């Protein structure tokens, strides 16, 4: 019991410092065609994952302010019917048998599309872009920009996000006595990555040029995770401008409202 309390206290401190897992209110709401379904210690609501009459319905298992944010925003930007299964990670819903049958790695997000189950935020983003090419959130296969798009999507998850994990989850990597040093190193290394992104944006509004893509949504998400560190992505001139442009989008604001996210937004 003492160990569990210590762990809860540690998680609370992480949240205060800007950790990726924010507590959820548990409020069931319906907004803009997305049905929000609370998931407590298990996946309690029976969900039909097959296409409903009149069109396709996705189900996204998510937790506010985590790596599920980018897929959530993208679903809203695409304007496709979807359900949100609010997965209470603090209560361990992601480790229950019902959820593990979908995602054996016990993480969010997970996307269900009929009989297809996909996890990993970037994989979900790529899948949705390919399912809905008409929305224009990814360059078409064969486009000169396709390689850059894939490069940024993988870089953001494999390099930037991986570095930020060291900051938020020090206990996974080092003893407590080394936690502060690891946090400081991770912040500086991530700051260098964001500085290079900022330089890339000096002559363009978005990563690929004039048009927003799913890569910019992913960049917006990982940049948000620096909001409570000493080196905030928003303080960089060109990256800060991109973040403001993304935040101004109505669908992004809708996603924030549903997830209950308050300022600082990024």
**Ordered structural domains, the chain, with CATH:** 2-135 (3.40.30.10), 146-248 (1.20.1050.10)
pLDDT in tens, 248-261: 999 999 999 999 99
What's residue 227's pLDDT? Answer: 97
Residue 38 pLDDT level (bands cut at 50, 70, 90): low
Q: Where is average pLDDT lowest: 85-99, 159-173, 184-198, 230-244?
A: 85-99
pLDDT at residue 228 is higher than 50: yes
Q: What is the pLDDT of residue 264?
A: 92
Tell me, what's the pLDDT at 9? 43
Please provide the average confidence, as pLDDT, over all residues in the chain. Answer: 84
Question: How does pLDDT run across 112-154, given as a tens digit for each residue?
Answer: 999 999 999 999 999 999 999 999 999 999 999 999 999 999 9
DSSP string, the chain: -HHHHHHHHHHHHHHHTT-S---------EETTEEEEEE-SS--S----SPBTTB--EEEEE-TTSTTHHHHHHHHHHT--EEEEEE-GGGTGGGSHHHHTT-TT--S-EEEETTEEEESHHHHHHHHHHH-GGG-SSPPTT-TTHHHHHHHHHHIIIIIHHHHHHHHTGGGTS-GGGHHHHHHHHHHHHHHHHHHHHHHGGG-SBTTBSS--HHHHHHHHHHHTTTTSSS-GGGSHHHHHHHHHHHTSHHHHHHHHHHT--SS--
Residue 54: pLDDT above 50?
Answer: no
Confidence of residue 55 (pLDDT cuts 50, 70, 90): low
Identify the residue with better confidence: 169 or 9. Answer: 169
pLDDT tens-digit profile of 75-98? 999 999 999 999 999 899 999 999
């Amino acid at each position: 019991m003492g160990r569990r309390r210590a762990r809860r206290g540690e998680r609370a401190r992480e949240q205060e410092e800007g950790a990726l897992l924010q507590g959820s209110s548990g409020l069931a709401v319906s907004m803009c065609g997305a049905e929000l379904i609370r998931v407590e210690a298990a996946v309690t609501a029976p969900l039909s994952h097959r296409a409903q009459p009149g069109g396709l319905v996705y189900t996204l298992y998510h937790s506010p302010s985590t790596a599920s944010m980018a897929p959530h925003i993208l679903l809203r930007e695409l304007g496709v019917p979807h359900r949100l299964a609010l997965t209470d990670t603090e209560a361990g819903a992601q480790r229950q048998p019902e959820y593990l049958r979908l995602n054996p790695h016990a993480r969010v997000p997970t996307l269900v599309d009929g009989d297809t189950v996909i996890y990993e935020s970037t994989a979900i983003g790529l899948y949705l872009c390919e399912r809905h090419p008409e929305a224009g959130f990814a360059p078409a296969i064969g486009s000169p920009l396709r390689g850059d798009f894939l490069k940024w999507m993988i870089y953001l998850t494999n390099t930037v996000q991986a570095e930020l994990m060291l900051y938020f989850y020090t206990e996974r990597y080092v003893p407590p006595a080394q936690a502060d040093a690891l946090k400081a190193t991770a912040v500086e290394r991530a700051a260098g990555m964001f500085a290079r992104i900022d330089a890339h944006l000096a002559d363009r509004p978005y990563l690929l040029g004039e048009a927003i893509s799913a890569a910019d949504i992913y960049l917006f998400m990982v940049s948000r995770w620096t909001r409570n560190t000493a080196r905030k992505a928003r303080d960089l001139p060109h990256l800060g401008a991109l973040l403001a442009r993304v935040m101004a989008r109505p669908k992004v604001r809708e996603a924030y409202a549903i997830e209950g996210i308050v300022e600082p937004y990024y």
